[in-house]
Amino acid sequence: MSSKKSAHPLSKKYAGYPRLNPLGIGQDISAADLIDTALLAYNGGRLREAAQLLTRKMLPDDGYIGLSLTGALTPAGLGKSCLIPLMRAGFVDWIVSTGANLYHDLHFGLDMHLHSGTPFLNDVELHEEGVIRIYDVLFDYNVLLDTDAFVREVIQGPEFQRTMGTDEFHYLLGKYVAARQKKLGIKDSSVLATAYECGIPIFTSSPGDSSIGMNVAAMALRDSKLMFDVNRDVNQTAGIVYHAKSTGHTSSVFILGGGSPKNFILQTEPQIQEVMGIQEKGHDYFLQCTDARPDTGGLSGATPAEAVSWGKVDPDKLPDSVVCYTDSTIALPLLTAYVTARVKPRKLKRLYDDRDAIFGKVRERYLATGTVAKITTSRKVAKRASSIGLRKK
């Protein structure tokens, strides 16, 4: 790069911004180098910042990373291509997912075939031919029927005949998928099976809103005793964040899409501060890839700045937040390539194995601190806990 001084320098205040002067893209460029050198502006620039936030701030020092998944990611193959490598490398510590992503993950764990098609087909004809379409992904109707049957068969087992958190449910389900994968002679096909093997807790914020929940509900009409303990999920996820912070680690949220899982992963902080009355500052790092706009007021498009006002994100860390307006099917493979190239695998935290201890710790703290009556000091506590207001002096 030329070191020649500019004849038109920016004013001193902005002089720190580097010159935009990319090299031509060569034949052998790696995905990671492409991101660093050619994604320089607009949402390309945000994607580069996202990759660098992950590698430079979120992953170092064993920081805790919660990943939220919405949109039809596993049907597009992103479970196998991206999520499983990230999980195996210890780059994802806990997950909140839509049930749909976990349901469609089962097809891969059961070695069923999904096809890369086109969105420009006649859906009435597809219906007549028994073909299901998710935009340009196609598969036979029997994929659904056989996956449903697998879920119903598995949850008949004695270990499922009780009320449990969704993390425990997914862990047990993952165990059966892992066993099936072994029988089929395949590996690293399913997010659920990988989470089971790696001790990564997976929660879902709306357990009834997917084909997994639909099969659980149908079995409840028979004699199944399986119920979901959503209170445990709310407290367990808050417990994970409290555990991270109280052991001196950062807590980061990596949000793909938006929807209910976005809130579920973020609400852990207000649960700790506003509801439990425990002094905390908010998540440290916020990274979201989404297509949702902020101006509709919906949570999917809400910015990290708005999240600060709720206590969800630490105000001191707001400048580090990144929102990249792009399709996750473009962003996630690039981010996965980047972090796997730039960061050494981390030791798995296996948070699922410490599930009861993590829950017990936040419960104990809440019972010592929280009240039934209104918590009057929450905002003052939040203000004191952060250095906001001190900075501008």
Ligand X SMILES: NC(=O)c1ccc[n+]([C@@H]2O[C@H](COP(=O)([O-])OP(=O)(O)OC[C@H]3O[C@@H](n4cnc5c(N)ncnc54)[C@H](O)[C@@H]3O)[C@@H](O)[C@H]2O)c1
Q: Which of 64, 94, 103, 139 binds ligand X (CB under 6 A)?
A: 103
> Where in 190-209 is the site for ligand X (CB under 6 A)?
206, 209
359 binds ligand X (CB under 6 A): no
> Where in 83-102 is the site for ligand X (CB under 6 A)?
98-100
CA dist 234 and 33 (Å) reads 40
Minimum CB distance to ligand X, residue 21 (Å): 31
Toward ligand X, which CB reaches closer, 113 or 379? 113
Minimum CB distance to ligand X, residue 106 (Å): 10
CA dist 43 and 368 (Å) reads 46
Largest CA distance in the chain: 79
CA dist 385 and 373 (Å) reads 22
Q: Which stretch binds ligand X (CB under 6 A): 29-37, 68-76, 151-159, 304-312?
A: 68-76
Toward ligand X, which CB reaches closer, 216 or 381? 216
Q: Which of 63, 85, 165, 257 binds ligand X (CB under 6 A)?
A: 257
Toward ligand X, which CB reaches closer, 72 or 388? 72
329 binds ligand X (CB under 6 A): yes
Toward ligand X, which CB reaches closer, 97 or 386? 97
> Where in 274-303 is the site for ligand X (CB under 6 A)?
289-292, 300
**Catalytic residue selected from 57, 262, 281, 312:** 312
Q: Which of 46, 53, 58, 71 binds ligand X (CB under 6 A)?
A: 71
The contact pattern for ligand X, residues 125-164, with x = CB under 6 A and - = no contact, is ----------------------------------------
Residues contacting ligand X: total by CB under 6 A = 22
Minimum CB distance to ligand X, residue 288 (Å): 9
CA dist 266 and 386 (Å) reads 18
Toward ligand X, which CB reaches closer, 71 or 277? 71
Minimum CB distance to ligand X, residue 71 (Å): 2
Minimum CB distance to ligand X, residue 169 (Å): 14
Toward ligand X, which CB reaches closer, 43 or 156? 43
Is 312 noted as a catalytic residue in this protein? yes
211 binds ligand X (CB under 6 A): yes
Please list the active-site residues: 312
The residues binding ligand X (CB under 6 A) are 70-72, 98-100, 103, 206, 209-211, 257-259, 289-292, 300, 327-329
